Chain A
Amino acid sequence: MKQLLSGNEAIARGAWEAGVQYASAYPGTPSTEILENFARYPGIRAEWAANEKVALDNAIGASFGGARTIAVMKHVGVNVAADSLMSVSYTGVFGGLVLVSADDAGAFSSQNEQDNRNYARFGKFPCFDPADSEEARQYVGVALDLSEQFRTPVMLRTTTRLSHSKSAVEVSPPTERAFEPLPPFKREKEVTRVIIPAVARKRHPEIEERLRQIAEWAETAPVNRIEWGDKRLGIVTVGIAYQYVREIFEGFSILKLGMSYPLPMKMLRDFAEQVEQLIVVEELDPFVEDQLKAAGIAVAHGKDIFPMCGELTLAKVRAGAVKAGLPVAPIPPAVPPIDEVAIPARPPALCPGCPHRAFFYNLSRQKRKVMIAGDIGCYSMGVLPPFQAMDMLISMGASIGMAHGFKQAGGQEKAVATIGDSTFFHSGMAPLASAVYNRSNITVAILDNRITAMTGQQENPGTGKTLQGQETQEVDITAVVEAMGVKYVKEVDAWDVEAVGKTLKEATAFEDGPAVMVVKGACVFIPEYKPLPRLEVIADQCIACGLCFKVGCPAILKSEEVFEKTGKPKAVIDPLLCTGCTVCAQVCPTDAIVPMESDYMAGR
């Protein structure tokens, strides 16, 4: 039956069909749904690891034991896992091992738009680049076979556009399958799974030879194919870019690469010789283009006309082609944008009821005296109005290390690091140990919303639930922090505005090593969150002071009614959005915000 599957659903499906029996991942847009979907298939184990390096290490252990396995992460996650990745290329694999890297061309929800195909060349392993969901499904199996044939780790690269678009895939309902234990572990005479220098030196030339052989394999692999057409123009393309090419350059000759590394150079050279003019269309870096040029193949156009930055689109490919005088249809006329009225931006905001709100409200009021090192999660929105309470943010787990470094270098202000529960487990524990060890008086606010929220509410070591929904041991953040020797540790209710403010003051005043406050309260999207009766503003009592607008809640709107003395708009609460968290009511100086009399939504 033909079914619409997203690229991510298709990768999960392909992995299951190809006999993957263990998968490990750390969530991250656009990769997250791969494991969430894989986890639903029978006869497999799937887990959230604490971070991407752990995920890859898990997969390496599984592969070394003989299992087929995948490790899944977003592009920047590969940076975290890179240490192991580089060396598992040297040791080689046993059971097939595929690293799924979900790149974010366009940086829709990431800190950068790095092109992870570069890792393939760097680490000397192959990289597959599917162009739609059906290919995504198939390539997982091809990649696993190749991984076992050449004993190499393999990267399967998707991008946001592929991961989050749906196309038709031929699938039948999954059949039952039982989980199979591995055969007894075989210790080899000559160690290859222990990457000591002597092994590394011996393996390096073998890796170079392996790569040469894989390039040979690529020459005839069906994933690379030529669609002959008009030979006045030949287009080399790879991944999702193929979809734009086949529409814009309809009728011309296309060499569609299913893998970007290593390249089938003979095939490419033959193609180049048979077409009048060769161009390369690929997203982000000139990865294929540079390899062609280095091989002496003439490339008429590539990154000179197609943008290096951002996601490719039909419009960008057409615009580049038109500019270079290539034979394509002209840019379609579009209706003009609206300029007679100003269209306000719609920036993301903390949800109504969000447990991060009271903390950032307090932090923004105390921010004159502090420097704030932020981290990655929903709370990154602390940088936006009305809070504007974040001064630095660089990568996951970096907040604590940055705050410490700032202080140790002689920073005069108090340094506050804000970090989420998932991020704390991901990479916050090592820098906290380091700060305790080196004795800086930083404040660390662990914003424990009981879930990995920003990526769509995934469980983590602190939540007491596994990816597959089983109850498990919950790692207690406060106990971990205490065990590290932190002398000020305090848990505080996330919605108690005054208590959060008081704790923040105490923590920043603490002068005997790092002070840690654990701000506890569940994200509104998980069952642990209990909505209260919704609130309303008693208009007669509202003096339009604007304080409640400072909590940055999407449910608090400016009323059409104004306060006569000042002419300023009063507040009104959107009952469709309010969850009754009371943060606004707590900051209101006239107690004008009260629960609705009888709220049918209460206790939903």
Chain B
Amino acid sequence: MTIERLNMLFVGVGGQGVLTASDIAAQVGLDLGLDAKKSEVHGFAQRGGVVESHVRWAPVVGAPICEKGTVDVLVAFELLEAARWIDWLRVGGTVVVNTQQITPMSVSVGDAVYPEKEALLAALRKRAGRVVAVDALPIAEQAGSTRTMNTVILAALSTLLETPPEVWERAILRRVPAKYGEVNRVAFRLGREAAGA
């Protein structure tokens, strides 16, 4: 059975490639013959703020943003952000989380502490139907460039959805500059392997 409709929420930190990844995910929806919309909030130009991007697939999509409680897959590029956005997930929904931890200014100036990794993962597991954690940065490095981190994460996401992986790979390769084609191909394969495909 193929997917008819899907709500995804991509979250992370500015500079991580969240917006490119969500663009690609929306394109995959179109390529699958569905209608697709995506919507993003990226704040200011600087690096380091919270980035959120909604992607919806359906035969006909209305609103470009999801409703709280209807997100089928939360795709978090950063561990703390997964925790921040978990209440958008539908009951029984899936979380794909990159376990990278990026210290927010509130923590480095000493106003707050970054929670323990295990405590965050446990809190996510308690709430989601399924949590797939990948450590995407070293995998991207292994593929040949840290810039392929978002490809690794998309690869992991692609293993959870009943969609042909070629559609994802093609959409990724169309989007990245030609000279990064090969590293992205490797990153896609490694990402799928890491997610257990």
When distances are taken between beta carbons in the complex, the residues of chain A under 8 Å from B27 are 4
Shortest Cβ distance from A550 into chain B, in angstroms? 9
A345 at the interface (CB under 8 A from B): yes
In the complex the two chains form, what is the Cα distance from A384 to B103 in whole Å?
Answer: 16
A554 and B45 form a contact (CB under 8 A): no
Among A335, A338, A577, the residue within 8 A (CB) of B91 is A335
Q: Which residue of B has the minimal Cβ distance to A339? A: B123
When distances are taken between beta carbons in the complex, the residues of chain B under 8 Å from A350 are 46
A455 at the interface (CB under 8 A from B): yes
**What 1/0 mask marks residues of chain B from 113 to 156 whose CB sits below 8 Å from any chain A CB?**
11110011001100110000000000000000010000000000
In the complex the two chains form, what is the Cα distance from A310 to B37 in whole Å?
Answer: 22
B50 at the interface (CB under 8 A from A): yes
A164 and B106 form a contact (CB under 8 A): no
Shortest Cβ distance from A463 into chain B, in angstroms? 15
In the complex the two chains form, what is the Cα distance from A108 to B49 in whole Å?
Answer: 12
**What 1/0 mask marks residues of chain B from 34 to 77 whose CB sits below 8 Å from any chain A CB?**
01111111111111111000100000011111111110000000
Shortest Cβ distance from A423 into chain B, in angstroms? 15
Chain-B contact segment, one of A142-150, A326-334, A501-509:
A326-334
Chain-B contact segment, one of A122-130, A312-320, A487-495:
A312-320
A334 and B69 form a contact (CB under 8 A): yes
Among B23, B63, B106, B109, the residue within 8 A (CB) of A166 is B23
When distances are taken between beta carbons in the complex, the residues of chain A under 8 Å from B80 are 343-344, 346
When distances are taken between beta carbons in the complex, the residues of chain A under 8 Å from B110 are 549, 558
When distances are taken between beta carbons in the complex, the residues of chain A under 8 Å from B44 are 29, 109, 348, 378, 454
In the complex the two chains form, what is the Cα distance from A318 to B54 in whole Å?
Answer: 19
A344 and B112 form a contact (CB under 8 A): yes
B108 and A346 form a contact (CB under 8 A): no
Interface residues of A in 1-47 (CB under 8 A from B): 2, 4, 29
Question: Do A335 and B108 form a contact, CB below 8 Å, given A109-B43, A315-B67, A346-B13?
Answer: no
Shortest Cβ distance from A321 into chain B, in angstroms? 13
A84 at the interface (CB under 8 A from B): no
A541 at the interface (CB under 8 A from B): no
A280 at the interface (CB under 8 A from B): no
In the complex the two chains form, what is the Cα distance from A109 to B68 in whole Å?
Answer: 22
On chain B, the number of residues with a Cβ less than 8 Å from chain A's Cβ atoms is 64
**What 1/0 mask marks residues of chain A from 541 to 556 whose CB sits below 8 Å from any chain B CB?**
0000000010010101
Chain-A contact segment, one of B82-90, B158-166, B181-189:
B82-90
Shortest Cβ distance from A18 into chain B, in angstroms? 24
In the complex the two chains form, what is the Cα distance from A350 to B145 in whole Å?
Answer: 25
B146 and A576 form a contact (CB under 8 A): yes
B104 at the interface (CB under 8 A from A): yes
Question: Do A334 and B105 form a contact, CB below 8 Å, given A4-B23, A318-B67, A346-B13?
Answer: no
Q: Which residue of B has the minimal Cβ distance to A546? A: B110
When distances are taken between beta carbons in the complex, the residues of chain A under 8 Å from B146 are 576
In the complex the two chains form, what is the Cα distance from A455 to B62 in whole Å?
Answer: 29
A161 and B65 form a contact (CB under 8 A): yes
In the complex the two chains form, what is the Cα distance from A29 to B41 in whole Å?
Answer: 11
B39 and A347 form a contact (CB under 8 A): no
B67 and A335 form a contact (CB under 8 A): no
B46 and A335 form a contact (CB under 8 A): no
Shortest Cβ distance from A219 into chain B, in angstroms? 27
Question: Do A453 and B63 form a contact, CB below 8 Å, given A332-B69, A345-B112, A349-B105?
Answer: no
A557 at the interface (CB under 8 A from B): yes
Question: Do A164 and B41 form a contact, CB below 8 Å, given A341-B115, A342-B115?
Answer: yes
B103 and A557 form a contact (CB under 8 A): yes
B195 at the interface (CB under 8 A from A): no
When distances are taken between beta carbons in the complex, the residues of chain A under 8 Å from B105 are 346-347, 349, 384-385, 552, 554
In the complex the two chains form, what is the Cα distance from A377 to B62 in whole Å?
Answer: 35
Shortest Cβ distance from B76 into chain A, in angstroms? 12
Q: Which residue of A has the minimal Cβ distance to B82? A: A338
Question: Do A385 and B111 form a contact, CB below 8 Å, given A332-B69, A348-B43?
Answer: yes
A228 at the interface (CB under 8 A from B): no
B45 and A456 form a contact (CB under 8 A): yes
Interface of B is mostly: mixed
Chain-B contact segment, one of A54-62, A241-249, A434-442:
A241-249
In the complex the two chains form, what is the Cα distance from A344 to B83 in whole Å?
Answer: 10
B167 at the interface (CB under 8 A from A): no
A165 at the interface (CB under 8 A from B): yes
A167 and B37 form a contact (CB under 8 A): yes
Q: Which residue of B has the minimal Cβ distance to A314? A: B67
B38 and A556 form a contact (CB under 8 A): no
In the complex the two chains form, what is the Cα distance from A384 to B50 in whole Å?
Answer: 16
Select the residue from B39, B80, B91, B111 with max chain A CB neighbours within 10 A.
B39
In the complex the two chains form, what is the Cα distance from A108 to B51 in whole Å?
Answer: 12
A338 and B64 form a contact (CB under 8 A): no
When distances are taken between beta carbons in the complex, the residues of chain A under 8 Å from B90 are 332, 334-335
When distances are taken between beta carbons in the complex, the residues of chain B under 8 Å from A352 are 47
In the complex the two chains form, what is the Cα distance from A591 to B142 in whole Å?
Answer: 35
In the complex the two chains form, what is the Cα distance from A549 to B69 in whole Å?
Answer: 39
A337 and B108 form a contact (CB under 8 A): no
Shortest Cβ distance from A599 into chain B, in angstroms? 15
Shortest Cβ distance from B185 into chain A, in angstroms? 23
A334 and B38 form a contact (CB under 8 A): no
B190 at the interface (CB under 8 A from A): no
B104 and A347 form a contact (CB under 8 A): yes
B172 at the interface (CB under 8 A from A): no
B26 at the interface (CB under 8 A from A): yes
Shortest Cβ distance from B1 into chain A, in angstroms? 23
B120 and A341 form a contact (CB under 8 A): yes
When distances are taken between beta carbons in the complex, the residues of chain B under 8 Å from A346 are 13, 48-50, 80-81, 84, 104-106
Shortest Cβ distance from B114 into chain A, in angstroms? 7
Question: Do A332 and B83 form a contact, CB below 8 Å, given A246-B62, A348-B46?
Answer: no
Shortest Cβ distance from A344 into chain B, in angstroms? 3
Shortest Cβ distance from A535 into chain B, in angstroms? 15
Shortest Cβ distance from B143 into chain A, in angstroms? 16
Q: Which residue of A has the minimal Cβ distance to B146? A: A576
Interface residues of A in 499-524 (CB under 8 A from B): none
Q: Which residue of B has the minimal Cβ distance to A246? A: B62
A174 at the interface (CB under 8 A from B): no
In the complex the two chains form, what is the Cα distance from A160 to B44 in whole Å?
Answer: 13
B32 at the interface (CB under 8 A from A): no
B42 and A549 form a contact (CB under 8 A): no
A347 and B106 form a contact (CB under 8 A): yes
Question: Do A161 and B39 form a contact, CB below 8 Å, given A168-B30, A346-B104, A346-B105?
Answer: yes
When distances are taken between beta carbons in the complex, the residues of chain B under 8 Å from A384 are 105
B93 and A335 form a contact (CB under 8 A): yes
In the complex the two chains form, what is the Cα distance from A480 to B54 in whole Å?
Answer: 46
Complex A-B: 18 CB contacts under 8 Å: A4-B38, A132-B64, A164-B41, A165-B39, A167-B37, A168-B35, A247-B63, A314-B63, A334-B90, A344-B113, A344-B114, A348-B49, A349-B46, A378-B44, A455-B45, A457-B45, A549-B110, A554-B105
New contact pairs (13) apart from A340-B119, A343-B80, CB-CB < 8 Å: A4-B23, A132-B37, A164-B42, A166-B26, A166-B38, A168-B35, A246-B62, A346-B105, A351-B46, A354-B46, A552-B105, A574-B103, A577-B47
